[in-house]
Amino acid sequence: MMSDETAFRNGRKNTVSSGAQNAGNSQTQTKIQDSAEFTDSNSERVVDLLKGEKRRIRIAVLASGRGSDFQSIIDSVEAGKTNGEIVGLITENPEAFAIERAKKHNIPYFVIDKKAFSDRLDHDRAIRRKLDEIKAEFVVLAGYMRIIKEENLLRDYYGRIINVHPSLLPSFPGAHGQKDAFEHGVKISGYTIHLVDASLDGGQILWQEAVDIRDCESATEVATKILEREHVGLPKVIDMFSKGRFIIRGRRARYVPY
């Protein structure tokens, strides 16, 4: 099935046939990973995006809805607190309010509508092509409500895709972390920022912050309280990637500043 990828850049709309893109994809993919040091051995992996260079990280954000985490990244970049440049918003939802946030800040945005793809993996491949096209070095899943399954995307961008999840993993993975924590009666929850791999919220943990929810009277209140802290921690972790490297041994990730 031939699917359409619709790109919006500063208010202009272009429709590109994904079937046509496939034909030349192997020749035109940008090898962004060549610009970052990423070594892999039996005992250790090192993720080093800038290798000490004094420049900004090229960031792509994937979001599905309101985009409040996306807004926190925008605000931090514009304030000079996060050393990055947002090169694009990608969403699978043409109604996502995150699009309005991108418009307001003149950030290129691209709707890759999931409904246009009969095959889930083809949708992931379309996202991969867009990431390569905009030369994204770093990818943030900020309220992106789909699990990335395409193995080449996960392999080639491993160490350069992070997700923010609203619980203290490994407790309460999945789409309803706040609700699950509230209904389970826990007193301390929080959020986790982790690397993305083929598992459900199972990549190596980079950052966690505990949030006291003992006085919350609803799952909505829990979600609001955790989200406020996500908005602080997520831009901070993105900035860390521009100022150091992560050394990964098994399940553990250790940060080493330059």
- Secondary structure (H, E, C), 120-185: HHHHHHHHHHHHHHCCCCEEEECCCCCCCCCHHHHHHCCCCEEEEECCCCCCCCCCCHHHHHHHHC
pLDDT at 13: 41
Sheet bearing 4-9, strands edge to edge: 12-17, 4-9, 109-111, 84-91, 57-62, 138-141, 161-165, 188-195, 205-212
Q: How far is CA 123 from CA 19, 80, 102, 120, 199, in A?
A: 12, 34, 22, 5, 18
DSSP annotation of 204 reads P
Active site residue 184: no
Active-site hit among 105, 123, 165, 194: 165
| Bridge partners of residue 194, in order along the sequence | 163, 205
Q: Is the pLDDT of residue 76 over 60?
A: yes
Alpha-carbon distance of 85 to 73, in angstroms, equals 10
**164-180 per-position pLDDT tens digit:** 999 999 999 999 999 99
Is the pLDDT at 139 greater than 80, yes or no? yes
What is the bridge-based pairing of β-strands 188-195 and 161-165?
antiparallel
pLDDT in tens, 89-134: 999 999 999 999 999 999 999 999 999 999 999 999 999 999 999 9
Mean pLDDT value across the chain: 88
Tens digit of each residue's pLDDT (9 = 90 or more) over 28-43:
333 334 434 444 545 7
Chain centre to alpha carbon of residue 133 = 17
Residue 7 has pLDDT above 70, yes or no: no
Q: Kindly tell me if the per-residue pLDDT of 61 is higher than 50.
A: yes
Q: Which domains does the chain have, with CATH numbers?
A: 39-257 (3.40.50.170)
